[in-house]
Structure 1
Amino acid sequence: MNFSDLGLSASILKAIEGQGYNQPFPIQQQAIPAILAGKDLLGIAQTGSGKTAGFALPILQQFQQKQPGKNRFIKALVLVPTRELALQVADVFKGFSLHLTRRVKTLAVYGGVSINPQMMALSGTEILVATPGRLLDLIDNKALHLSELEVLVLDEADKMLNMGFEEEMNRIIALLPQKRQNLLFSATLARDVEVVKERLLSSPVVISVEEEKEENQLELIKQVAYRISTERKGPFLRYLIKQGNMQQVLVFVSSIRGADNLVAKLNKNGLQAMAMHGDKSQGARTEALQRFKSGKLQVLVATDLASRGIDIKTLPVVVNYDLPRSPKDYVHRIGRTGRAGATGEAISLITKEDGHHFKIIQKKMGRKVDMLDTEEIDLKGY
């Protein structure tokens, strides 16, 4: 199936070609026609399944056929759980807008930065990508209005609920007009998501690509683990990066302090590294992610919370410097690589204390990971 089979206009198809997309992913094949038909939709899909383009393309096409509304009365709202995801989703909309006959202004708003520039930038915005808290701040400041909203998208709804945004979401939903199109995307159909579905969606089209995505994703990822003592972990990581000539490595750690310490040691040993975690300013997080995506930064060290917005199509290597607390988080971490049909490598450093926990992760994942010894490797100079 091609994008031309989905009911998309010539200008949208040109925009797709301009962004280097070839064939639609499964969720796009099902979601795009349903959204163009004005249906409510529930999409169960992991990050990296192509869902953002799945809702961005039909929304942009619908807006091509309409004139802009009143200033500061936004027409489409995409709610997301994190700052990084807000920027990422807005970039997808902006990228596809480049070739359109009518340019549609998209803006991302989020907390952690001054609200004043965002209030000024809202002028002329038709599509707003927002974290719930900052959206309510802007509404309270009368910087925007939701009364003429036509499309509501809840992206990664399960994460928003898990991160405690339920109260904010309830307040936002109460401000929306009754007549609108609702699109709900989630990695899982958890109980809380089911409640939101029943409240928001009317006779929705239901799409699920979760099982297929996860199974295929793990098949594309080469997993390997190394037995290592705690004191040799740092030198061994530097050995792996230098010996493997790794140019783009995402390293996961368990704490903010651990991230900062690891970055300092990597930089001291000639490897360009930056940290991405909750204590960093939004500007620092954005700079680190942009440099990493563009290939100007060799190593990005991240905590799990900060990783939620990291979506790079062809990321070659992920390293678990510290193991995550749950098997689900392990799969989420290594799923940063092996995306969109590309292969990837996931490396885990396993200390003696990690052994039992790593066995549980493998059992839950349904896959055995090759475990290699490192005692004979000379790490002098690393």
Structure 2
Amino acid sequence: MSFSSLGLSASLVKAVAAQNYTAPYPIQQEAIPAILQGKDVLGIAQTGSGKTASFVLPVLEKLQGTRASRNRFVKVLVLVPTRELAVQVGDVFKTFAGSLPQKIKTFAVYGGVSINPQMMQIGSVEVLVATPGRLLDLVSSNAVHLSEVEVLVLDEADKMLNMGFEEEMNRILALLPRNRQNILFTATMDEEVQDITTRLLSDPLRIEMEVEKQNPDLIKQLAYLVEPERKGPFLRYLIRQENMKQVLVFVSSTRTADNLVGKLLKNGLQAMALHSKKSQGARTDALTKFKAGKLRVLVATDLASRGIDIQFLPHVINYDLPRSPKDYIHRIGRTGRAEAEGEAISLVSAEDLHHFKVIQKKAGKKVSLVETDDLDLSGY
């Protein structure tokens, strides 16, 4: 199946080819025609399944040949849970919109940076990607109006609800016109997501991508039994011995992230931290360098476990185990994306063993556990 067979114009098909998309992913094959037909869509899929393009492409297609938006009245609203995802989705829109014959202005807004430049640039925007809190700030300042939104996209809906954005989302929904198309993507379906789905979507096309179908055997999973006091040296040993050029390391707290980066730098390994206490500028800088291959190690809290699209990332390391099996799946899902192989490594202490068994059971895959007590880590 080709992208042109999904109903996309020659301009968009050419733009897709320029980004090295060879064939549409399964979720794109179902979502793109449905969105073009104006149907509501419910997509249940992990990050890495191709879901961003599955709504970006048809939304841009639908805007071709339409009148430009009134100043500060957006046509398409995309809500996302984090600043990083807002930037990422906004970049995807800009990439494809730049190849279209009709100019479509897209813009991403989020907190952590000054609101004034965003207020100045938001005029004549047709596609607005936003985090809930910053969007409400802009609405209250009359910088943007939502009464003419034609398409609403909720991306990572479960993450937004888990982060406590339910009240903000309800306030935003109350500002939108009743007659609109709704598109909702989520990685999981719990009661909260089911409730908003029932309230928001009208006879939606339900697309569910099984985790096993997305990346069967693409992620090589391995675990090492390492006591807490040896984890730092063992991590440095792994990076050097395996000659890891690009590795995403997950930790449980901002303090651990900063301490770990300090130790890595002290030992000659280029590293930066990504977490909620970093400024937006620092977070963007770290992520940009890491994506470009200019940063060897990115140490992150679960802020980065969803929605961060790093193509062909070869290694993910759980320095600390996540709290839940779902977070484990999202973390390791940063590698093994689409059709690329990857490696996910977990450092497990004796007190973590029971929790790790639970994670394996829920994830449906047994992971080999290698002991490291006899390994000489002096010098690391």
2:327 aligned residue: 329
Give the 5 Å matches for 1:18-33: 18-33=18-33
Between the aligned partners of 2:341 and 2:304, the Cα distance in structure 1 is 23
Q: Output aligned runs, 1:157-306, within 5 Å.
A: 157-209=157-209, 211=210, 213-217=211-215, 219-306=217-304
Distance in 2, matches of 1:331 and 1:196, equals 24
- Find the counterpart in structure 2 of residue 105 from structure 1: 105
Counterpart for residue 372 of structure 1: 370
**Structure 1 runs (4+) greater than 6 angstroms displaced:** none
Residue 61 (structure 2) pairs with residue 57 (structure 1): no
Distance (Å, rounded) in 1 between the aligned partners of 2:343 and 2:240: 16
**Contact map agreement 2:306 2:331 (CA 8 A) in 1:** no
Is 1:129 aligned with 2:139? no
**Would the aligned equivalents of 1:84 and 1:308 in 2 still touch at CA under 8 Å?**
no
1:346 matched residue in structure 2? 344
User: Once the two structures are superposed, what CA deviation does each residue of 1:155-197 show, in whole Å capped at 9, x if it has no partner?
Assistant: 1111111111111111111111122111111112222222222
Cα offset for 1:229? 2.0
TM superposition shift of 1:376: 2.8
| 1: CA distance, partners of 2:68 / 2:214 | 41
Cα drift, residue 24 of structure 1: 0.5
Percent same amino acid among aligned pairs? 69
The answer on whether the counterparts of 1:76 and 1:151 sit within 8 Å (CA) in structure 2 is: yes
C-alpha displacement of 1:249: 0.3
Amino acid in structure 2 at the alignment position of 1:321: Y
Unaligned residue ranges in structure 2 (runs of 5+): none
1:320: which partner in 2?
A: 318
2:140 aligned with 1:140, yes or no?
A: yes
Give the CA deviation at 1:215.
Answer: 4.8
Mapped to 2, the partners of 1:145 and 1:53 lie a distance apart of 26
Letter in 2 for 1:202: S
Partners in 2 of 1:165 and 1:360 — Cα distance?
29
Give me the TM-score of the superposition, normalised by structure 2: 0.97
Q: Distance in 1 between matches of 2:356 and 2:180?
A: 47
Shift in Å at residue 55 of structure 1?
0.5
Structure 1 residue runs of 5 or longer lacking an equivalent are none
Q: Is the partner of 1:258 in helix, strand or coil?
A: helix
SS class of match (1:169):
helix
Asked if the contact 1:84–1:286 (Cα under 8 Å) also holds between the matched residues in 2, the reply is yes
Q: How many Å separate the matches in 2 of 1:307 and 1:185? A: 16
Separation (CA, whole Å) in 2 of partners of 1:216 and 1:115: 38
CA distance in 1, matches of 2:264, 2:95: 34
Q: Whole-Å Cα distance in 2 between the matches of residues 136 and 375 of structure 1? A: 53
RMSD value over aligned CA atoms?
A: 1.2
Secondary structure, aligned partner of 2:302 = coil
- Aligned residue pairs total 380
